[in-house]
Homo-oligomer: A and B are copies of this chain.
Amino acid sequence: MRPTVHDIAAAAGVSLATVDRVLNQRPGVRGVTRDKVEAAIREIGYVRDVAAANLAKGRTYPFVFIVPASDNSFMHGLNAEVRAAVARSPVERTDIRTVEVPAFDPEALVAVLDQLGEERPAGIALVATDSPEVREAVDRLVQSGIPVVTVVSDLTGSLRHHYAGVDNIAAGRTAARLLGRFLGGAKGDIAVLAGSMLVRDHRERLEGFASLIAEEFPDLTVLPVIEGRDDPDMAHMLVADALAKRDGIIGVYSLGAGNRGLIRALKDKAADRRLTVVAHELTAHTRAALLDGTIDAILNQDAGHEVRSAIRVLKAKADGLSVIDAQERIRLDIFLKDNLP
């Protein structure tokens, strides 16, 4: 049997009430007594029974998810996963509220964060917009004792407790190696389609991609980035235009969302020439394109894993517990035609 609070009391020679005061950091315990109790806790290896504690507290975890109001498949998927988590709330004792903020708008995000500092939820998960103001706002929250995790897009240099997302530099490098190897030593140009260079994850992917191409595939030239603002029509137009203008393009790396337009442009060109294409985010569209051969590989981050991981980590932090690091690492999924889920 695992030790209980009663065992601590007996071991430390104090009463249950005192143990409770120490455990829950309530005032009214002398330093010496506190030390004695803490020693006993360590000695007998007591671990609080979180289930019983939550039952007694009638505790729920009021969490807030801050997501950008972007209209693309990936963010829709993320929202769906948050809603799924909300549906599980009664069982998981969570009470999740979603707040939408305009995309790429640091001020709006900071306003929401500061507001939450007042409300003091049990934890906050946010898709970070990378800016110094946001970092400072997050740091204020952390320092005031609220657990904060970033999802999908991180905030380096900040004090956030955890990042539930992929390493985007590694993602870019992986895309580069796949494209380079698939092209098998051919010489030519690579078109890169991004949403916006204002987003940190897109910048990082590009950085990783360009650096690996430069290092290991000198015969390939990375063309200036096409910014499609994650808009299908805009992406379609820009990509079609680029393909028409430049004969040398033999590969495409699409590192953002809004792949519908890209796929359309590629299919228009299909008769002329076959390109090697690596894209991000598995959606209905990219999946179909992978299966029909328009796309050669898809890199993906599983939004469901990210949301569930964020919640687990927030809970653990709220309870002052540790997390299983390996379990919380978000992997970069690589999908070929053959290993689609």
Binds B, one of A105-113, A173-181, A220-228, A246-254: A173-181
Q: Scan A291-318; emit 1 where CB is below 8 A from any B CB, else 0.
A: 0000010000010110010000000000
CA distance A171 to B51 in the complex (A): 40
Q: Does A118 reach chain B (CB closer than 8 Å)? A: no
Q: Scan A302-340; emit 1 where CB is below 8 A from any B CB, else 0.
A: 101100100000000000000010110101111011110
A-B contact pairs, 23 of them (CB 8 A): A47-B91, A49-B55, A51-B55, A55-B55, A171-B339, A173-B339, A174-B339, A176-B338, A177-B336, A177-B338, A178-B336, A181-B184, A181-B296, A182-B182, A182-B184, A183-B184, A184-B184, A184-B185, A302-B326, A304-B326, A331-B341, A334-B334, A334-B339
Residues of A within 8 A of B (CB): 2, 47, 49-52, 54-55, 90-91, 167, 170-171, 173-174, 176-178, 181-185, 208, 212, 296, 302, 304-305, 308, 324, 326-327, 329, 331-334, 336-339, 341
> Are B47's CB and A90's CB within 8 A?
yes
Contacts of A54 in B (CB 8 A): 51
Question: Per DSSP, are chain A's interface residues mostly helix, strand or loop, or mixed?
Answer: helix
Partner of A338, one of B170, B296, B331, B338: B170
Contacts of A49 in B (CB 8 A): 55
> Are B47's CB and A336's CB within 8 A?
no
Min CB gap A299→B, angstroms: 9
Min CB gap A4→B, angstroms: 11
Q: In the complex, which of the residues A181, A302, A339 has the most CB atoms of chain B within 10 Å of its own CB atom? A: A339
Contacts of A50 in B (CB 8 A): 91
Closest residue on chain B to residue A186 by CB atoms: B184
Min CB gap A87→B, angstroms: 11
Taking A184-B185, A212-B338, A338-B174 as contacts, is the C-beta distance between A308 and B327 under 8 angstroms? yes
Closest residue on chain B to residue A3 by CB atoms: B90
Closest residue on chain B to residue A173 by CB atoms: B338
Closest residue on chain B to residue A52 by CB atoms: B55
Min CB gap A49→B, angstroms: 8
> Are A332's CB and B326's CB within 8 A?
no
Contacts of A184 in B (CB 8 A): 181-185
Min CB gap A166→B, angstroms: 9
CA distance A52 to B177 in the complex (A): 51
Closest residue on chain B to residue A340 by CB atoms: B170
CA distance A181 to B276 in the complex (A): 11
